[in-house]
Amino acid sequence: MNFPLFPLNTVLFPGCMLDLQIFEARYLDMVSACMRRGEGFGVVGIFAGREVGVAAERFAAVGCEALIRDFQQRPNGLLGIRVEGVRRFHVEQIEVQADQLTLAEVTWLDEAADAPLLAEHADLAALLNALVEHPLVAGLGMGGAVASQQALANQLAYLLPFSVEQKLQALQQADPGQRLAYIQSLLDELQGEMIA
């Protein structure tokens, strides 16, 4: 078991960017080792437990590999890193080290073939285009025009304020068309709640 996991109250998707502030010794060591080896670590959504302190009690079985794309020391003295989601994986076995870092055996998940956007995706594409106006989204260099179903599905599932459980449901779907249909159903549900 040698794949380090970083359980967070967020769900990372392939092609999406995440800024993290690292201050715990276990994660500083992990980041240092990953950078030295040119390898990534796994981001998994937390179901029970906390991001800091002891290892999370319960987290998702499906996560996303994160590769470090940039790092800097923050004004507060902490290490800031920007990671990009790369590949989805399934957690097979875990082992918590003495320093509370969780290591795992993982199986990489296959991705369904990507496809170009269709006319039925116009509203979702317009929504992603509108999200680029949000300062947090623009700061990550995300949002705007995309050409494929995979990119549209991943960015919307990541950026929209869905619950961790809903985001995980989207992450588990290999087919980008199904992921987009699921996102559309969540948005329809939200719209229904607003009208009711």
Report pLDDT digits (tens) over 27-86. 999 999 999 999 999 999 987 666 556 666 688 999 999 999 999 988 888 899 999 999
Rg of the chain (C-alpha set): 17
Domains of the chain are 3-108 (2.30.130.40), 119-195 (1.20.58)
Q: What pTM does this model have?
A: 0.91
CB atoms within 10 A of CB 1: 13
Tell me the pLDDT band of 93, cut-offs 50, 70 and 90: very high
pLDDT value of position 160: 94
Tell me the pLDDT band of 1, cut-offs 50, 70 and 90: low
Least confident span in 27-36, 130-139, 168-177: 130-139
- Percentages helix, strand, coil for the chain (3-state, rounded to 5) are 35, 30, 35
Residue that wins the pLDDT comparison between 147 and 54: 147
User: Which two three-digit tokens encode residue 174?
Assistant: 């290999």
Tell me the pLDDT band of 11, cut-offs 50, 70 and 90: very high
CB atoms within 10 A of CB 122: 10
Residue 196 has pLDDT above 80, yes or no: no
Which among 70, 52, 69 is positioned nearest to 7, based on CA atoms?
Answer: 52
Q: Within 13 Å and on the Cβ side, how many CA atoms surround 139?
A: 7
Which among 144, 139, 170, 143 is positioned nearest to 157, based on CA atoms?
Answer: 170
Write the pLDDT tens digit of every residue in 148-165. 999 999 999 999 999 999
